[in-house]
């Protein structure tokens, strides 16, 4: 008997741990709910709801393969080695199969499991190329995205990207035992907008590839348009893999890896950003503990005014686009990428609040909360990250609004009181908590400590 331990890979397709374990003989699956750990990691109630629905769906999918999913609750990652050892003993299991994760606490948890004497086999399925596999000629991690991407594309062009097949059913003749639904006893927020299943993730992908990807480069920055894949909640919990995404893209667009200036290549570019941040996270594990990537960032004198932070969190800065974006986050658990950049820039550079405060607030509300992408995005905006926004580049929230929400269509969805304003008027602040021009000059001074970098 082998155990397959599911983590952020809640799928039966393209799941090497599952497929390879099944090739070795009978399998039982396990998922550990870790409420206290999730609290420490600021997992959002909407993501917990999505996890609950996803594991119930996974339990059903596994049942169709004749595999039981045991869902166990322990408080912390630290409790898992003992729980897993007990389970191995009970099931007389010789090996545990799992797919890799990139976060420092998760990596340390796996080391502790192995130190417990459990034969834990880890497979790479989170990235298309493993962290540490895309390096400079000197064998170091790239510090700039573009050469990383060029190297990544070159390596991926030579790969067979066929996803792992789902395993054959273990006992084809027997009836499917429908598993009892599992409930996670934590505060949750309804995630029903995103159907929690692998099929739903595939539908998002197919719809996006059929209708939107070719125009992605033209429309992806406009939050009122439906133009991006909305796959991030599925990728964050592994209901779909990036390899499945890229494989499906290449079947339709065989030139997708050509690094052209079109929608298809622009979308590939975003998948590579995801990988870039994951590679950085694994090679710099302390980023997951709040370290600045650029150590000069330690010298930034954050002002951290709690009143300004509260106004930002509540979408009450007075800047219509920032406030509408924060409402999108609070109400739906998701925020458009352009707006994540605008809000993160506003918090760090207009309000002079530490990026870690914003990173945490995002994580507490996002359905797609993901340490590597969130940290990468925040440190990019705060200019402390790897290949980040230059420190002197400060988004003007009014110009961002005029450019990317020209008719105020997005703003009007989240602030109906402004909907009557003309396309010209709607972008301007009403009782702003800071004046853009003043804030910009202060930020330039405060962030100038990054100049030496």
Ligand X SMILES: Cc1cc2nc3c(=O)[nH]c(=O)nc-3n(C[C@H](O)[C@H](O)[C@H](O)COP(=O)(O)OP(=O)(O)OC[C@H]3O[C@@H](n4cnc5c(N)ncnc54)[C@H](O)[C@@H]3O)c2cc1C
Which residues of the shown chain bind ligand X in the complex (CB under 6 A)?
A: 220, 228-232, 235-236, 270-271, 273-274, 277, 337, 340-341, 344, 362, 366, 368-370, 373-374, 376-378, 381
- Our CB check for ligand X shows the closer of 62 and 256 to be 256
What are the residue numbers of the active site? 270, 273, 302, 337, 355, 378
Min CB(358)–ligand X separation in Å:
7
Residue given tokens 């605008």 in the structure block: 342
Q: In the structure encoding, which two tokens stand for residue 91, read together?
A: 């099931």
Longest dimension (CA), the chain: 73
Kind plus residue range of the DSSP H or E element containing 381? helix 371-381
Q: Closest approach of Cβ 452 to ligand X, in Å?
A: 25
CB 385 within 8 Å of CB 379: yes
Give the residue nearest to ligand X (CB): 377
Which helix (DSSP H) or strand (DSSP E) does residue 73 occupy?
Answer: strand 69-73
The answer for residues whose C-beta is within 8 angstroms of residue 326's C-beta and 6 or more apart is: 312, 313, 314, 315, 317, 343
Q: How far is the CB of 370 from ligand X (least distance, A)?
A: 4
CB of 369 to ligand X, least distance (A): 5
Distance CA 137, CA 132 (A): 12
Nearer to ligand X, 109 or 340 (CB): 340
Taking the least distance from each CB to ligand X, the nearer of 87 and 443 is: 443
Residue 419: CB atoms within 10 Å:
12
- Tell me how far apart the alpha carbons of residues 187 and 185 are, in angstroms, rounded to a whole number: 7
In the complex, minimum distance from the CB of residue 267 to ligand X, in angstroms, rounded to a whole number: 6
Q: Of 66 and 233, which has the nearer Cβ to ligand X?
A: 233
Element (H, E) at 329: helix 320-332
Give strand pairing partners of 73. 33
Nearer to ligand X, 97 or 355 (CB): 355
């Amino acid at each position: 008997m082998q155990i397959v331990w599911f983590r952020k890979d809640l799928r039966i397709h393209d799941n090497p741990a599952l497929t390879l374990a099944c090739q070795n003989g009978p399998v039982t699956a396990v998922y550990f709910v870790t409420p206290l750990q999730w609290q420490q990691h600021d997992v959002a109630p909407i993501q917990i709801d999505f996890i609950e629905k996803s594991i119930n769906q996974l339990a059903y999918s596994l049942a169709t393969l004749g595999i039981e999913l045991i869902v166990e609750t322990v408080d912390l990652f630290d409790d898992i080695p003992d729980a897993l050892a007990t389970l191995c003993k009970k099931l007389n299991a010789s090996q545990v199969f799992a797919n890799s994760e990139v976060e420092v606490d998760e990596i340390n948890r796996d080391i502790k499991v192995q130190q417990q004497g459990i034969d834990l086999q880890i497979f790479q399925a989170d990235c298309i190329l493993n962290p540490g596999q895309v390096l400079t000629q000197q064998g170091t991690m790239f510090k700039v995205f573009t050469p990383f991407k060029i190297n990544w594309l070159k390596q991926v062009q030579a790969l067979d990207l066929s996803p792992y097949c789902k395993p054959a059913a273990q006992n084809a003749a027997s009836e499917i035992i429908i598993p009892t639904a599992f409930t996670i006893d934590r505060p949750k927020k309804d995630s029903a907008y995103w159907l929690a299943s692998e099929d739903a993730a595939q539908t998002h992908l197919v719809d996006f590839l059929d209708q939107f990807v070719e125009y992605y480069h033209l429309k992806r920055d406009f939050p009122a348009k439906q133009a991006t894949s909305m796959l991030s909640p599925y990728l964050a919990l592994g209901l779909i893999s990036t390899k499945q995404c890229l494989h499906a893209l290449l079947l339709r667009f065989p030139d997708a890896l050509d690094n052209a200036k079109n929608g298809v290549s622009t979308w590939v570019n975003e998948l590579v950003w995801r990988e870039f941040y994951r590679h950085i996270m694994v090679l710099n594990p302390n980023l997951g503990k709040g370290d600045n990537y650029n150590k000069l960032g330690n010298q930034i004198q954050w002002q951290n005014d709690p009143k300004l932070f509260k106004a930002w969190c509540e979408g009450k800065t007075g800047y219509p686009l920032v406030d509408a974006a924060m409402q999108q986050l609070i109400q739906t658990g998701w925020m458009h990428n352009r707006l994540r950049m605008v809000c993160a820039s506003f918090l760090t550079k207009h309000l002079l609040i530490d990026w870690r405060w914003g990173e945490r607030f995002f994580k507490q509300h996002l359905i797609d909360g993901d340490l590597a992408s969130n940290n990468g995005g925040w440190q990019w905006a705060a200019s402390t990250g790897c290949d980040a926004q230059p420190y002197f580049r400060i988004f003007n929230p009014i110009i961002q609004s005029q450019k990317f929400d020209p008719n105020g269509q997005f703003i009007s969805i989240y602030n109906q009181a402004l909907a009557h304003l003309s396309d010209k008027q709607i972008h301007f602040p009403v009782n702003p908590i800071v004046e853009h021009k003043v804030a910009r000059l202060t930020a330039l001074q405060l962030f100038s400590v990054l100049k030496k970098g």
